[in-house]
Amino acid sequence: MLYSLAFKFILSKLDPERAHHLGMFAIRLASSLRLTKLLPKIKTRSVKVFGLEFISPFGLAAGFDKNAIAIRALGELGFSHVEIGTVTALAQDGNDAPRLFRLKADRALINRMGFNNDGAEVIAKRLEKLRSSKKALPIIGVNIGKSRVVDVFDAVGDYETSARLLAPWADYLAVNVSSPNTPGLRSLQSITALKPILKAVIEQSLGKPVLVKIAPDLADQDVVDVAKLAVELGLAGVIATNTTISREGLKTPKLQVESMGVGGLSGAPLNDRSLEVLRLIRKTAGSELAVISVGGIETKEQVAIRIKAGATLVQGYTGFIYFGPLWARKLNRI
């Protein structure tokens, strides 16, 4: 209730990216002051998958903590795992602002951030320092993507560099070839382009689980082909799905949406397609692959539906913006 009022009267009035930075500061401050330790313990259902034990099925998707600066604090807020990034081999500023927009009527976001991050070398050192602290941490996934200045034809070496630098400090690696905000990136979802990237990342993974993250905009047959490739290469799993370029079925007025420009749409409108893709992957791959289902999750009931449909784990991001800091605890409590 308190967060709902704060969002309605304060946070929603701020530029979305500024509000995000303010929220990150507040989360880190609450952790450093040990305020998160005052939260009552909740009973959760643990999940063991690809050799890792997750205290609960629900975690935070990539995009929220791009630079691995709030992992411990986010774990204290109830996320069983935190997927950082997307991290690129080369540091980059991302696209020009404004690049993040709220669609409040749809409980959705449009972003064209463009993989803004500190780069794999800096973030690897940050993760090394965090690991050396020996403090309790959630499972850490590291989502890696292509550096903007690197041509798609040179993508293999770029992903390989990121994997080599980050694998020692990651619990799992997620290969992102599905953001709509890096030119040419989604072309890497074709089997011909994707296979050498995944093989290169596996070679640098130090045996850590490797997953691939795909777009909801893929045709069904392409989803099937990626699932088959994942099984063929022995990947740990598939993360389904990233943001969408579709603008169908939105409540926000069309002209308002158009004024926001290009970018990936996340939030409630993705629920149906994300669930469809999950079911398609599970039908194709059987029980051989883990599937992390993400897209449109808001409620505990939706988490249960995803798990019943075959999800091994579930992630969210946009719901965190709309429902506040206790959201993950509500979804993970049994």
Q: Where along the chain do its domains lie?
A: 2-332
pLDDT attached to residue 2: 60
280: left (phi over 0), alpha (psi -120 to 50) or beta: alpha
pLDDT at 3: 67
Cβ atoms of 240 and 294 closer than 8 Å: yes
Q: Distance between CA 96 and CA 275 in Å, rounded?
A: 32
Question: What is the chain's alpha carbon radius of gyration, rounded to the nearest angstrom?
Answer: 18
* Distant-in-sequence, close-in-space partners of 9: CB < 8 Å, separation ≥ 6: none
Beta-carbon count within 10 A of 97 CB? 13
62 neighbors 326 (Cβ within 8 angstroms): no
* Backbone angles phi and psi of 261, in degrees to 5: 85, -160
Q: Is 179 in the active site?
A: yes
Give the integer Cα–Cα distance in Å for 168 and 308. Answer: 33
Neighbouring CB atoms inside 10 A of 327's CB total 22
Contacts 24+ apart (CB under 8 A), 184-190: 184/152, 185/145, 185/146, 185/152, 186/215, 186/217, 187/152, 188/146, 188/152, 188/155, 189/214, 189/215, 189/218, 189/222, 189/226, 190/222
pLDDT of residue 7: 67
Spot the catalytic one: 179, 205, 266, 274: 179
CATH of domain 2-332: 3.20.20.70
Three-class SS state of 162:
helix
Task: Please count the CA atoms within 13 angstroms of the CA of 33 that sit on its side-chain side.
Answer: 8
Question: What stretches in the chain show pLDDT beneath 70?
Answer: 1-9
The single-letter code of the amino acid at 136 is: A
Contact between 82 and 138 (Cβ < 8 Å): yes
